[in-house]
Chains A and B, each alone.
Chain A
Amino acid sequence: MDFSFLFNNFIELTVTGLVLGSVYALIALGYTLVYGVLQLINFAHADVFMWGTFAVAWVFILTGANGSGTLLQALPYLLLALVVSASVSGGLAMLVERVAYRRLVRKRALSYIILISAIGASFVLSETMGIRDRIVEAIDGAVNAILGIFGGHVDLVGILSDYTARARGITTLPMTIKPETILTIGNFNFRNTDLTIILAALIMMVALDQFIRRTRLGREIRAVAQDPEAAALMGSNSTSVISKTFLIGGIMAGVAAVLYQIKVGSTAFDIGVVLGIKAFTAAVLGGIGNLRGALLGGLLLGITENYGSALFGTQWKDVVAFALLVLILLVRPTGLLGQTLGRARA
């Protein structure tokens, strides 16, 4: 129990906690949106996010981004990465819905059966990334077998070696933005990376909130969350609305992936397990099915985790989130704000 460390670095811990929390909150949106319309936990969502982080990594490898730029120099790279990772995550999220959910939801299967199907999808996503070197080898063998008939040859393994390196290890990247102090208040320095992440996350959150409140699709999503039958009678196609809900969640995960890369700068095929539990905790903390709750929950969780690791040591960091989750579920199962997507005010 190291109280002095906590007190001396209180502001810094709070800011870095908010940075972590912003990423959690963006991932939590995916859980919350899907839970709102289907009352199901999208177990594969964290792996969709993991694919987003790899999309960012590969864009950086492809474009040769290096980590010595200022924010302005890095911006084109970041925007390109954002577009790519949002497309990858959004597309995968829709695919997961199509393959693992749609059939079972239509059959009105028990929720735990659907959860198991989602777990299967999550495994497929994470393992595909985890053995990407093997998969490339297999494809290479097949392609060359066909090309061999015509006397051609292509070295896919060699071409893709940058992308398949250390498939089961950690892929590290150059930091895109060089962290530097841009603002000093009292004796604490705010770094440009941290401020970028918090701001970007807030902008995305507000944009999504307004989107759900004001657009036609947003209204449809709320309607399906409230009462699928009635929404169908009013002419909304619930299948496509659900699919688009997954897409929006996936896009948010793609944005979160870029921010995660700015902050962490490394990724691995199995980061989904712990991040998934944490983002889900954030969603439950704020009230699952509640967009603003996801923001509140994410930020709270990030800060709590930072204070917790300052007190008990970083190796206990993950335990803080689990303990918090159990506490919330026991004391206030509907979360802090406890509204659902359907009851959100228009």
Chain B
Amino acid sequence: MTTSSRVATFFGNVGDWISDRLEPVGAVARKRPVKIPLIIVGVLLVYALPIVNPPLITTPNSDFPNVLFTVTVYAIVAVGLNIVTGYAGLLDLGYVGFYATGAYVVGLLTAYHAAWPFLLVLPVAMLVTLVTGVLLGAPTLRVRGDYLAIVTMGFGELIRITIRNTEWLGGTAGIKAIPSPQSIGAPDGLFQIPHLHWEGLNPLIDLDRSTKFLVFGVLDATPYFWLALTALIIVILIERLVKNSRVGRMWEATREDEDAAEIMGVPTFKFKLLAFASGAFIGGLAGALFAAKSGYINPISFPANLSILFVAAVVIGGSGNRWGAIIGAVIVAYLPERFRELEDWRLLFFGAALVIIVSFRPQGLFPAYNSRRARRAARQAARDAREEAPVV
């Protein structure tokens, strides 16, 4: 093969890949024309949440837009971790390490060592986290099962300890004064949107609280929520395409039976590494958003418990099902804020919920949607078992 033909093949492959990716979108539009407007309306409603401030849902004891932001960041984390744990079947107990990496790259490049604008740092942060994922994954993904869980947990701690002990990374004091992203139409924004305020069930327009479009300030978390939600939607769209592609099927095969997949010609190690790196990439995005919003990060913000909380979100929601994972993240991030008085009991309840849910529903609340192939295989296996069963 000459170089030129290689290049041609490569571009041909890229073209095929893109058209393959776009195919399902067209199929949805052809099959269910009603669905798309519905989805758009639903998404707009979610965007409007902090403005509408709906009763019962809103958090009386803490700033509602702020809570929404946290929930969205957790949802991004859950989508990323779901790729690693749900699709590829790699239990990662050190995911907070990637979250921390993304946050710290933003901290270092916007405040500590340089003063780059946030939107320039964001892709850099994601790429650095991706590289971290590859570096950590390459030696360890040959290890299987439970061992991998412990090793990744070690890595999460390793990243935290390294940050804590390195002055160049901020040390124990952390990084302060991380600037907000660039505002549009500062200082008062392009226009202002007043929030609603509810007296019982009557909405009143709350003129004291209005969101300046789009000013990333310290007081109002709403623009950050919009930013995070936009990021989440983009992540979900891309993740869907990958999941429904050959890559997603390779992950499924690797998860179900690694040896069989290897024999059928799936380069399992490569695809495990790809899953790990994709997960890291998304974790870096979540961490970067967190750093930009909070303006201050230190090693204590990234304890090993947070990794477990992330895994808990994915498992409670339903490992291998993106919507399940997102709902799990919402549960994990939202409930403790809604019921502030239970703050101290949160982790205890999580532990108990994990044990109970896993005992009674090992698949989580919203089990993964099995592909038709998998369901057919399961039915076939059941039939075979019945036929082979001894006649008593």
Q: Does B242 contact A (CB under 8 A)?
A: no
CB of B108 within 8 A of chain A?
no
- What is the minimal beta-carbon distance from B280 to any residue of chain A, in angstroms? 17
Q: Which residue of B lies closest to A316 (CB)?
A: B165
Among A124-132, A148-156, A242-250, the stretch in contact with B: A124-132
Q: Does A232 contact B (CB under 8 A)?
A: no
CB <8 Å contact, A100 and B355: yes
> How big is chain A's contact interface, by range?
35 or more
Minimum CB–CB distance for A28 against chain B, Å? 13
**Are the CB atoms of A124 and B348 closer together than 8 Å?**
yes
* Complex contact A103–B143 (CB within 8 A): no
Among the listed A116, A120, A127, A284, which residue makes an inter-chain contact with B147, where contact means beta carbons less than 8 Å apart?
Answer: A284
Residues of B within 8 A of A128 (CB): 348
CB-CB under 8 A from B165, the residues of chain A are: 313, 315-316
Verify A322–B157 contact, CB threshold 8 A.
Answer: yes
Residues of A within 8 A of B354 (CB): 116-117, 119-120, 123
**A120, closest chain B residue (CB):** B354
Known contacts A116-B315, A123-B308: does B348 contact A322 (CB below 8 Å)?
Answer: no
Kindly state the separation between the CA atoms of A122 and B358 in the bound complex, as whole angstroms.
Answer: 14
Q: Can you name the residue of chain A whose Cβ is closest to the Cβ of B355?
A: A120
B161 within 8 Å of A (CB atoms): yes
Asked whether, in the complex, the Cβ of B311 is within 8 Å of the Cβ of A326, the reply is: no
In Å, the complex CA distance between A107 and B348 comes to 26
| Contact present for A119 and B145 (CB under 8 Å) | no
Contact with A124, one of B149, B158, B162, B351 (Cβ below 8 angstroms) = B351
Q: Are B348 and A131 in contact (CB under 8 A)?
A: yes
Let me know if B98 is at the binding interface, CB within 8 A: no
Does chain A have a CB within 8 A of B304?
A: yes
B140 on the interface (CB 8 Å rule)? yes
| Cα of A110 to Cα of B351 in the assembled complex, Å | 19
B145: A residues at CB distance < 8 A: 111-112
Which of A62-70, A186-194, A272-280 lies on the face that meets chain B?
A272-280
Q: Give A288 to B161 CA distance when docked, in angstroms.
A: 27
Once A277-B154, A322-B157 are accepted as A-B contacts, the answer to whether A115 and B146 lie under 8 Å apart by CB is yes
Residues of A with C-beta under 8 A to B358: 104, 113-114, 116-117, 120
CA distance A17 to B20 in the complex (A): 59
Is B111 engaged at the interface, CB distance under 8 Å to the other chain? no
Residue of A nearest to B309 (CB): A123
Least distance between B171 CB and chain A CB atoms (Å): 10
Q: Chain B at the A interface: mostly helix, strand, loop or mixed?
A: helix
B243 within 8 A of A: no
Tell me if A99 is interfacial: C-beta within 8 Å of chain B. yes
Interface centre among B139, B142, B143, B359, by most A CB within 10 Å? Answer: B359
Max chain B C-beta neighbours (<10 A), residue from A103, A117, A121: A117
Say yes or no: B362 contacts A119, CB within 8 Å. Answer: no
The docked-state distance in angstroms from the alpha carbon of A322 to that of B154 is: 6
Q: Which chain A residues lie closer than 8 Å to B153 at the CB level?
A: 277
Q: Which residue of B lies closest to A41 (CB)?
A: B146
Q: How far is the CB of A120 from chain B (nearest CB, A)?
A: 3
Q: Is B164 an interface residue (CB 8 A)?
A: yes
The answer to whether A112 and B91 have CB atoms under 8 Å apart is: yes
Question: Closest CB-CB distance, A51 to chain B, in whole Å?
Answer: 14
Asked if A182 is at the interface (CB within 8 A of a chain B CB), the reply is no
Minimum CB–CB distance for A13 against chain B, Å: 20
Task: State whether B162 touches A329 (Cβ < 8 A).
Answer: no
Determine if B350 is an interface residue (Cβ-Cβ < 8 Å).
yes
Enumerate the 8 nearest inter-chain pairs by beta-carbon distance, A residue then B residue, closest first: A123-B351, A120-B354, A124-B351, A322-B154, A120-B355, A127-B348, A117-B358, A127-B347
- Can you list 28 A-B pairs with a CB-CB distance of less than 8 A? A100-B355, A104-B362, A107-B362, A113-B362, A115-B91, A116-B91, A116-B311, A116-B354, A116-B358, A117-B359, A119-B93, A119-B308, A119-B311, A119-B351, A120-B312, A120-B351, A120-B354, A121-B355, A122-B351, A123-B348, A124-B355, A131-B344, A131-B345, A274-B157, A315-B165, A322-B154, A329-B147, A333-B143
- Which residues from chain B sit less than 8 Å from chain A, CB to CB? 89, 91, 93, 139-140, 142-143, 145-147, 149-151, 153-155, 157-158, 161-162, 164-165, 304-305, 308, 311-312, 315, 344-345, 347-348, 350-356, 358-359, 362
Given contacts A104-B362, A123-B354, 4 further A-B contacts (CB under 8 A): A113-B362, A117-B354, A326-B139, A333-B147
